[in-house]
Amino acid sequence: MIRYSLLCDHDHDFEGWFGSSEDYDAQHAQGLLECPLCGSKAVRKAIMAPSVSGTKGQGGPTPVAPEAREMMMQAAQAVRRHVEDNFDYVGDAFAREARAIHEGRSEERGIYGEASGPEVRKLVEDGVPVAPLPSGPPKKQEMN
């Protein structure tokens, strides 16, 4: 496993773990990388210092066990299914509807939909509680 420090176009920094640098390149080329804070798909590698193993066995980060990775993926998909089953889908009206709910102009309820990076940033700046929905599994036509 390889860990990269990543940045989105809104300067949110986060980590990404990949099986190899080729895995990162492939996911980046397919537009599968996404900022967990704002949902932006404009993600790039950040500059980071290399992890150098010391003489006392203090190497880099411990790789994530396949079982733990699978458990995390299942949990993320469970969250997505819960939202899709219990929240109202508002499509590209998400930013407008989230703001209306926050300001009391619309019924209080859980919603999900799409919003652009600038729309999400403005909601966050204005104190509207929003969070990105975990990505769904790749569609069959997107897979090799």
pLDDT of residue 99: 96
Question: Which of 49 and 57 is assigned the larger pLDDT?
Answer: 49
Listed range (64-73, 109-118, 126-135) with the worst mean pLDDT: 64-73
pLDDT in the model for residue 143: 52
Q: How much is the pTM?
A: 0.53
- DSSP annotation of 19 reads S
Average confidence (pLDDT) over 6-26:
86
Is residue 128's pLDDT more than 80?
yes
Domain boundaries, the chain: 1-48, 64-128
Q: Residue 3: what pLDDT? A: 84
Amino acid at 113: G
Question: What is the CB neighbour count within 10 angstroms for residue 80?
Answer: 16
Q: In the predicted model, what is the mean pLDDT of residues 44-69?
A: 67
List own/partner pairs for 71-79 with CB under 8 A and 24 or more apart. 76/134, 76/135, 77/134, 77/136, 77/137, 79/133, 79/134
DSSP string, 127-141: T----PPPPPPPPGG
Query: Which residues lie below 8 Å from residue 111, measured CB to CB, with a gap of 6+?
Result: 87, 88, 89, 90, 94, 97, 98, 101
Closest CA relative to residue 86, chosen from 62, 103, 109: 109
